[in-house]
Amino acid sequence: MDTLVAEPLEALAARIRACTLCRLHEGRTNAVPGEGAASARLLLIGEGPGRHEDEQGRPFVGAAGKVLDASLAKAGLTRGEVFITNIVKCRPPENRKPKADEVAACRPYLEAQIRAVRPAAIVTMGDTALKGLLGPSASRTAPGRRRPRHEGIPVVATYHPAAALYDRRLGEVLGSDLARAVRLVAPITRPRSGRPRQSRRVRPALSSGCAVLDGENRILLLRRADEGLWCLPKGTVEPGETLQETAMREVREETGLSVRILAPLTEITYSFYSPSDDANVEKRVVYFLAERTGGRLKPEPGFDDARWCGRADALRRLHFENDRNVVRRAFEALAPATGRTRGRGPAASS
């Protein structure tokens, strides 16, 4: 731990415990300043303390905390590797949402924590945390937006762990978003997966992605910074999203480009062992043929290269046969889907 940073955090915690700046101090048993590594590369923000947190003076120690711990584990993280805090540090009565003036009063403490930890990425958990950090117009699903930033730090918006208590699919999304945040801060290594193991429970997973073509009949590939493997943009389907919406969102988040879906393309399935939850994952990925409509190519942190490749180049770069089959299907489908003639110049690229 970096002691030069830890001391201000501790002094900050002492000030929070004595704070009476807003009405929330009146009903608290303990203020909950937050906890974790002062050198953490991820800073997680929740809404506010609940009953258990208020009793113990620690964040996320109740049922939602168990969900958070499980989601962190799926992303290959422990609490010791992140810093966890809340938008307000004292429990709102009856667990109501914090009011705007309470959020505003508590905001300087959050800003000071962010300055002290200097994380590489921030994860907001729930709408209150997202809007509390980025403002009332912030939305987790705003279309056409690049990843938001706070003081230059990328922000990953996900669900509050308490929401996953009522909808297990949201827990999957939470884990997936935390894994995405891990990719943003690449020096934290991801857990290695491997061949399926005997006698493990099976966890199904659904993703969606795109074979994105430009106006010169080239396909877009990304290279993962951690493993150096080239791949196609794809990601986890979130509750309420269609497969097409997921595919377009993932392209936007991972590459900065907006795309138009041209046609369903193919789907692939594969299985692997996930050490983080000791399960065999049976993954299905649905791919669409898409064409670029705008944006500027800028790979998300976690990817160290992105480039447009002709068919032969793409097949040579891709590591997995599954991915190569997607590329083959994309080039087979190219002419009928776009009206372009393979090998000719651009027809409709922005």
What does the binding site for ligand SF4 look like in residue numbers (CB under 6 A)? Answer: 16, 19-22, 24-25, 31, 88-90, 102, 105-106
Task: Give the β-pairing of 42-46 and 153-158.
Answer: unpaired
Residue 335: count of CB within 10 angstroms of its CB: 14
- Nearer Cβ to ligand SF4 (26/189): 26
Burial of 242 by CB count in 10 Å (0-12 exposed, 13-18 middle, 19+ buried)? exposed
For the bound state, the minimum distance from the C-beta of residue 48 to ligand SF4, rounded and expressed in Å, comes to: 8
Nearest residue to 31 (alpha-carbon basis) of 105, 82, 81? 105
Between 168-184 and 63-74, two packed helices, what is the crossing angle to 10 degrees?
50
- Nearer Cβ to ligand SF4 (3/26): 26
For the bound state, the minimum distance from the C-beta of residue 24 to ligand SF4, rounded and expressed in Å, comes to: 4
* Spatial contact of 53 and 29, defined as CB atoms under 8 Å apart: no
For the bound state, the minimum distance from the C-beta of residue 102 to ligand SF4, rounded and expressed in Å, comes to: 6
- Nearer Cβ to ligand SF4 (99/203): 99
For the bound state, the minimum distance from the C-beta of residue 296 to ligand SF4, rounded and expressed in Å, comes to: 40
Burial 122-132 (b: 16+ CB within 10 A, else e): bbbbbbbbbbb
For the bound state, the minimum distance from the C-beta of residue 14 to ligand SF4, rounded and expressed in Å, comes to: 11
- Nearer Cβ to ligand SF4 (19/213): 19
- Nearer Cβ to ligand SF4 (20/269): 20
- Nearer Cβ to ligand SF4 (31/222): 31
For the bound state, the minimum distance from the C-beta of residue 106 to ligand SF4, rounded and expressed in Å, comes to: 3
> Rounded distance, CA 327 to CA 312, Å?
10
For the bound state, the minimum distance from the C-beta of residue 347 to ligand SF4, rounded and expressed in Å, comes to: 57
- Nearer Cβ to ligand SF4 (76/132): 132
Longest CA–CA separation in the chain, Å? 72
